Amino acid sequence: MKPINPLAPACLAALIHLSACSGASTDVTAGRNALQTGRPADAVGYLRRAADQDPNSRTPHRVPARVLTYLGRAYYETGNDAAARETLEKAVSMHRDDPLAHLYLGLALLRSGERERGRKEIEAGLRAIDDTLEYIAQDRVSGFYWDPGMTIRSDVRKTLAGMLNDSDLALAAQHIGQQFDEEIDRARRDESRTRSGGGDGGGS
């Protein structure tokens, strides 16, 4: 009888783990696409499955889309504020540098009646979006492609300076969050098009 390779179980476990991670990443992308096309209920299905497989799953983008952040956003957009808050609290605790986790946690808190903390989280998310875009803009290779007209950063600064009421702050924050999420794809697409000789770039 041929002896069993002692490394075989470990290799099999590693392959299973890699397969699960790959599946989770695919579901994160599908869930994010569903959110961007106005299908939050579909997004919940994809993202919940991804989070069950790997709660650390994320896209490989320069600004990563993390599964718990997007699942929390999907819950928020379907009106499930309790699940949104629980999921986004976890997202913030795991990734304190995630602007959208703070932003959507603040939105969920605000809609749940926790006005003071909700506003603080929204403002923290907005500042983190501004800081992220400013940091990327310093990159002389690809920074040009991110918010080149400073549209998002301008909206952030006007919102933070505007002393808006809760309703207007929530509307502005949602708009900026969507714009920032879409900028991740726009910047990658514009940079890829320019590098392949298909255009001169552009952005939001």
What CATH code is carried by the domain that includes residue 94?
A: 1.25.40.10
Q: Read off the pLDDT band of 198 (50, 70, 90).
A: low
Q: How confident is the model at residue 14 (pLDDT cuts 50, 70, 90)?
A: very low
pLDDT of residue 192: 79
Instruction: Indicate whether 73 belongs to any domain.
Output: yes
What pLDDT, in 10s, does the model give residues 95-135? 999 999 999 999 999 999 999 999 999 999 999 999 999 99
Which tens digits make up the pLDDT trace of 67-97? 999 999 999 999 999 999 999 999 999 999 9
In a domain, 8, yes or no: no
Has residue 200 got a pLDDT over 70? no
- Under DSSP, the state recorded for 197 is T
Residue 4 banded pLDDT, cuts 50, 70, 90: low
CB 191 within 8 A of CB 201: yes
139-183 pLDDT per residue, tens: 988 888 999 999 999 999 999 999 999 999 999 999 999 999 999
Instruction: Tell me whether residue 123 is in a domain.
Output: yes
DSSP code per residue over 33-55: HHHHTT-HHHHHHHHHHHHHH-T
Cα–Cα distances (Å) from 45 to 35, 64, 84, 124, 134, in that order, read 11, 20, 14, 28, 34
> Is 87 part of any domain?
yes
Confirm whether 68 is domain-assigned: yes
**CA-CA-CA-CA torsion sign (31, 35, 39, 41):** positive
Q: Is residue 188 part of a domain?
A: yes
Q: What is the pLDDT of residue 119?
A: 98
Total domain count, the chain: 1
Is-contact 147 186, C-beta < 8 A? no
Give the structural domain span for 97. 19-192
Q: Quote the pLDDT of residue 76.
A: 97
pLDDT at 21: 46
Task: Please tell me the distance from the alpha carbon of residue 131 to that of residue 96, in angstroms, as a whole number.
Answer: 14
- Residue 46 maps to a domain: yes
The beta-carbon contacts of 6-9 under 8 Å, at least 24 apart in sequence, are none
Cβ atoms < 10 Å from Cβ of 85: 22
pLDDT class for 16, splitting at 50, 70, 90? very low
Residue of higher predicted confidence among 197 and 184: 184
Is it the case that residue 1 has pLDDT exceeding 90? Answer: no
